[in-house]
């Protein structure tokens, strides 16, 4: 999927003639903390709710103030993971999208990125989850896949994260079977350190909510 397919049709950009009050109202309606300011098709930068409060003149046009805008953006041809990385690194709630000539095309909402990631990772498919811990040098996707497939299973998703307080990595594996006892036995036989297992849908949802932040930190390594 190209990023332009995730552009929202709901949120219009701001103009310099718009007031801070209008910007804050739009942010509240769409539950976001940033909005792009655009002059025709020229992207001038993002303004945050904090910027507007700091101006202390929210009823005036934002163009009347000297703005110190930051200008994060992605181009329509970039990969979705690059947009996720930008959201994580700069703590954004929207991502402006430009074309190759730097013309503003629209924005992507953070929630839409999360929903896309959930679809991409197969989170809606039924299955179980196994979390194993190991040294980085011991990681072998081939061996992990052989263990899963040797027990007549398929890997739906796999993520690698490194906790801040650990020198080891955690490998989270989602498989296409809810009965994961055979996988667990084989991992134990190969001396893998199993940190957690999840078989119920509620437990899986809770795990992946916490793993989302770990995934984006991994993209930033």
Mean pLDDT by runs of 10 across the 221 residues of the chain is 82 94 94 94 92 84 79 88 85 93 93 76 74 92 95 89 81 89 94 86 52 58 45
**CATH 3.30.70.260 domain span(s) along the chain:** 121-219
- How far apart CA 105 and CA 97 sit, in angstroms, is 6
Domain 3-118 in CATH 3.10.580.10: yes
The CATH fold assigned to 121-219 is Alpha-Beta Plaits (3.30.70)
pTM: 0.64
List phi, psi (to 5°) of 200.
Answer: -95, 150
């Amino acid at each position: 999927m190209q990023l332009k397919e995730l552009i929202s049709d709901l949120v219009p950009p701001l103009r310099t003639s718009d007031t801070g009050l209008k910007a804050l109202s739009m942010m509240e309606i769409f539950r976001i903390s940033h909005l792009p300011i655009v002059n025709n098709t020229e992207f001038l930068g993002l303004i945050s709710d904090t910027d507007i409060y700091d101006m202390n003149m929210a009823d005036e046009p934002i163009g009347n103030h000297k703005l110190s805008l930051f200008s994060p953006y992605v181009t329509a041809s970039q990969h979705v993971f690059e947009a996720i990385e930008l959201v994580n690194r700069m703590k954004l709630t929207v991502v402006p999208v430009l074309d190759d000539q730097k013309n503003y095309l629209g924005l992507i909402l953070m929630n839409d990125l999360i929903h896309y990631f959930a679809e991409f990772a197969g989170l809606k498919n039924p299955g179980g989850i196994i979390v194993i811990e190991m040294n980085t040098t011991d990681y072998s996707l081939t061996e992990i896949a052989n263990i899963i497939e040797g027990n007549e299973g398929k890997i739906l998703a796999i993520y690698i994260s490194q906790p801040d307080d650990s020198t080891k990595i955690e490998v989270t594996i989602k498989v296409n079977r809810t009965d994961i006892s055979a996988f667990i036995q084989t991992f134990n036989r190969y001396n893998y350190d199993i940190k957690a297992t999840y078989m119920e849908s509620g437990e899986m949802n809770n795990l992946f909510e916490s793993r989302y932040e770990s995934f984006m930190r991994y993209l930033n390594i």
